[in-house]
Structure 1
């Protein structure tokens, strides 16, 4: 099974997405749903996908579970819950009980938008993570270099938990990279309970001036840090459309992974996501 482990659905006419207000994001400020994604999956040989949260709202998680229940190709949902909720365990039990609740595989919060770089280390957040892991869910780190130290400490604090780093922590590709990013991602990769998504990289490059060769050094570094068993492919559709078509993004990342090794490519496009998210 070939899996796109990171894609989104949204409709700005029905809900507010604060991060989408920047003028340069106007091309993707419209509705994207399962009917838009289905032909792209078929054209690109993708069997299934995991839909990932876009806003900090429980009703979005509930909506994604309904979509997953009605859409066989959506095999997992990484949703949002309030990690500071003192009754989070009850909330997770309720989500698991609704139609599609069996497809809830992970939780995510937009940590890189928090003012505090150590937000993950707050006592109430750590308590919430304990509830997430007690429900056998993974947790997606949405962080940049600034928040990586807190992510490293968190991964070390929960050695039996499963973490997935989104977008390889958004390396500063347009600026040529940084030793801060490369060193910190290496430290996170040393935690054996963290997987790394090779996703969202083209939009960290110059949108109209990138190719697979420019992404390759960053993919190679992630591969050195996480190894062939902990790299996961994701398109980051429709955010990726800012930099290229679904097919262009998929082909570029596949080319990068294949240069590292065919087995690396094959694992990143399926089995590693199944292990990280415990997909049925």
Structure 2
């Protein structure tokens, strides 16, 4: 079997000059501490994950520099999805600082926290995304359900930009709801340059009482729409610890997937992420 890849994890360190204000609420207290590569290594070893991809938390290129150093010191970090200012005329200049580092594999913006729900389709931001398309640097779509209709717009405007929907766009799993999500999710999947991360689901479920059964309809829908060749496993560690351990999250996806073929399993747990992020 090819190396198992976790396509979505984070690190943070509160002594760094970064903005972790999103962790301030009382519900975030369980993860309001440092999470570094030494904390993740035993977690991935316990379930047999070989390599991981760090995904940005900051709108600050200094985080790119910090995590690239961590990746240089920790071989299991296969790549980092960093940040550049898509709305800035300096977007391309920023990207070129990082693009040739073999561990710099993508870009993300915390779109769902922007006050403007249409931020990601603003002309200046589309111009930034065109820079990513020009240089073939993939983009992570961090959406709530209310933003998901933009995926079709982006995919048609930027047909050569590989994009991946993080966390299935956070459907209302706790409520068992699909009605506000399904049509736009299916529509996004019609575009071959759009992929999906099977990640971030437990924190959309009931944190205390979720079971793999709660996740099953959403995973099945993702596989039906995108196929294994455009779906990839992600833990969303350490955010997932609000609702479950690394091991629980990994085993829940294995449980939900059930008896699938070796080829399907290889795609979801390795090959899709390797191809999408062009991992070395």
Using the size of structure 1 for normalisation, the TM-score is 0.95
Tell me the C-alpha RMSD between the 2 structures.
Answer: 1.3
Partner of 1:264: 264
* In structure 2, C-alpha distance between the alignment counterparts of 1:260 and 1:219, rounded to whole Å: 13
Partner of 1:161: 161
Partner of 1:207: 207
Contact 2:176 2:214 in 1 (8 A): no
Task: Write out the 4+ residue segments of structure 1 that deviate beyond 6 Å after TM superposition.
Answer: none
* In structure 1, C-alpha distance between the alignment counterparts of 2:156 and 2:275, rounded to whole Å: 19
Partner of 1:194: 194
1:51 to 51, 54, 66: 54
> 1:73 aligned to 2:66?
no
> 1:39 aligned to 2:42?
yes
- Report deviation, 1:178: 2.7
> 1:84 aligned to 2:84?
no
Partner of 2:220: 220
Contact 1:258 1:265 in 2 (8 A): no
Partner of 1:10: 12
Q: Secondary structure at the match of 1:12?
A: coil
* In structure 1, C-alpha distance between the alignment counterparts of 2:172 and 2:4, rounded to whole Å: 28
Change (3 A) 1:264 1:187: same
Moved more, 179-188 or 263-272: 263-272
Instruction: Provide, for residues 1-60 of structure 1, a one-character-per-residue CA deviation record: whole Å limited to 9, x for no partner.
Output: 100000000013433212211210100000000000111111110110000001211111
Instruction: Provide, for residues 195-234 of structure 1, a one-character-per-residue CA deviation record: whole Å limited to 9, x for no partner.
Output: 1000010110000111111110110011111112101000
Count of aligned pairs between the two proteins = 277
Instruction: Provide, for residues 72-123 of structure 1, a one-character-per-residue CA deviation record: whole Å limited to 9, x for no partner.
Output: 11111001111012021111111235xxx22111100011111222111111
Partner of 2:27: 24
* In structure 2, C-alpha distance between the alignment counterparts of 1:92 and 1:168, rounded to whole Å: 26
Q: Secondary structure at the match of 1:78?
A: strand
Gap runs ≥5 in structure 1: none
* In structure 1, C-alpha distance between the alignment counterparts of 2:145 and 2:119, rounded to whole Å: 14
* In structure 2, C-alpha distance between the alignment counterparts of 1:32 and 1:260, rounded to whole Å: 33
Using the size of structure 2 for normalisation, the TM-score is 0.95
Q: Secondary structure at the match of 1:16?
A: coil
Gap runs ≥5 in structure 2: none
- Report deviation, 1:259: 4.7
- Report deviation, 1:261: 5.1
